[in-house]
Amino acid sequence: MKTITLLLAFIFSVQLFSQEITGKELLDKAIAYHDPNNNWNTFNGTLMVTMKTPGKNERKSEIKINLPEEYFYVKASRGENTTEYTVNKNDCTIRFNGVENPSSEIKKEHNLSCKRANLFKNYYTYLYGLPMKLKDSGTIIDEKVTRKTFKGKEYLVLKATYTKEVGKDTWYFYFNPKTYAMEVYQFFKEAKDSGEYILLSGEETINGIKMPKSRAWYYNKNDGYLGTDDLTK
């Protein structure tokens, strides 16, 4: 009987906590876990990422991010082709299989463009900068924190939307209620059954920041597996 009473008291206290903590407080606790020394804003480092996708060759990427210098570089190799994008402040450089400024025919055939270079810059900076990137302007953090069971595990869930200039998707971030580590994130587009969820596992500490070692991507609609990104450095 004493055990049951203690269990009920624990459940009640956890539920009460999840109701009382605000979105801002949860985000601050998550950032304190992942970036305890506030290193993200001065991040200057290299990431090595291997992407595994069903039915395709692995894509190996070397990614350099220097936030103070507004510099981004990615070298991605898949099969026989290697693409390099450099974004240095407002300047963009493209190389394909070692050739700088490839022909318009090559660019069209392989979907190469400075728009795509900036897409990669925003993509990698956002995902590997989470949850710190949720402090960026244009991000709207819901003050209500919910408690949700996802894939058999309970989380504190933070909802984020964005101003129209930044984006239309709605994101949910799932944090371990004991450590505040980010373990899942999920986004939805305007259609209810759209979007994807991403399961995070393992950790690599780079420049003092705890980053997910593996990210496995799935469709929200049918749990269809999309692929996995593995951080190897």
The 10s digit of each residue's pLDDT in 145-198 is: 999 999 999 999 999 999 988 888 999 999 999 999 999 999 998 766 789 999
Average pLDDT for the chain: 91
Can you tell me the distance from the alpha carbon of 100 to that of 5, in angstroms, rounded to the nearest whole number? 69
Whole-number Å distance between alpha carbons of 167 and 84: 26
Q: Report whether the peptide linkage leading into residue 131 is cis, meaning its omega lies within 30 degrees of zero.
A: yes
Within 53-181, strands assigned E span 59-66, 71-78, 81-88, 91-96, 99-100, 139-141, 146-150, 153-162, 170-175
Average pLDDT over every residue of 53-76: 97
State percent of the chain over pLDDT 70.
91
Quickly tell me which residue has 């209500």 as its tokens: 144
Q: What is the pLDDT of residues 32-43, one digit of tens each?
A: 999 999 999 999
Q: pLDDT band for position 124 (50/70/90)?
A: very high
Residues 6+ positions from 202 with CB-CB distance below 8 Å: 212, 213, 214
- Please give the pLDDT value at position 8: 44
**For residue 190, what pLDDT is reported?**
78
Alpha-helical (H) ranges within 89-177 are 104-109, 114-128
Is the torsion defined by CA of 79, 118, 43, 71 positive or negative? positive
Both tokens of 70, joined, read 């507004």
Cβ(141)–Cβ(163) below 8 Å: no
Alpha carbon distances (Å) from 131 to 78, 128, 134, 144, 198 = 29, 8, 6, 17, 14
Q: What is the pTM of this model?
A: 0.88
Distances (CA, A) of 47 to 43, 122, 169, 184, 232: 11, 15, 26, 20, 8
Task: Tell me the mean pLDDT in the region 104-121.
Answer: 95
Q: Is the pLDDT of residue 7 over 60?
A: no
Say what the pLDDT of residue 19 is.
Answer: 53
* Residues 55-73, mean pLDDT to the nearest whole number: 97
